[in-house]
Amino acid sequence: MNYFCEMQNKIVLIGGPGTGKTSVLNALKNRGFYCFSEISREVTLKAQEKGIDQLFLTEPLLFSKLLLEGREAQYKAAEQVAEKVVFFDRGIPDVHAYMDYFKTAYPAYFLEKSKHYKYTKIFHFAPWKDIHITDNERYETFEESLAIDNFLVKTYSDLGYKLIKVPFGSIAKRCDFIINSLNSDI
């Protein structure tokens, strides 16, 4: 295994809701990789504890500001660890991609932070109907996941990232694909 290089590799898993990112991230954690979990569920659960069922739907700008702060904190925390490879379940650009999807205005600093905090590689998980489910924190339908995914792909592409498409398959095979992709480039 050859995951190492001089600088830290910040790897982001992106895709619409319910595409398998979190399952793969958890498997990467189990394989010993340093991983930052998606924080939107945490923000949503905290709001639900305060009686707000879906903060993103009721106060999308506040929700997005909280996400942006959390993802920026994750990025900075990654820089404080000695790990050469760090994985993120979603990145900073996801915040304004979602805002664009919902046609919600946001401050210019959202995009500025996406340009400032750069990631090494972006692995894209396309919507996959066979595994898509909804729950208390993930309410988007498969069709909405497809639409959101289009905004994510456009946002990251517009920022100059080359997306690496993760093929459908078992969690183990998807992890292997990501690790093998890293080994071939690092």
Closest CA to 75 of 110, 27, 20, 113: 113
**pLDDT tier, 53 (very low <50, low <70, confident <90, very high otherwise):** low
Q: Where are the domains of the chain?
A: 9-185
Predicted structure pTM score = 0.88
Q: Which CATH homologous superfamily contains domain 9-185? A: P-loop containing nucleotide triphosphate hydrolases (3.40.50.300)
pLDDT digits (tens, 9 = 90+) for 140-184: 776 888 889 999 999 999 999 999 999 999 999 999 999 999 987
For residue 87, count CB atoms less than 10 angstroms from its CB and return exposed for 0-12, middle for 13-18, buried for 19 or more.
Answer: buried
CB-based contacts of 87, cutoff 8 Å, min separation 6: 11, 12, 13, 25, 28, 33, 34, 35, 36
Closest CA to 63 of 81, 43, 49, 82: 43
pLDDT digits (tens, 9 = 90+) for 8-23: 999 999 998 878 899 9
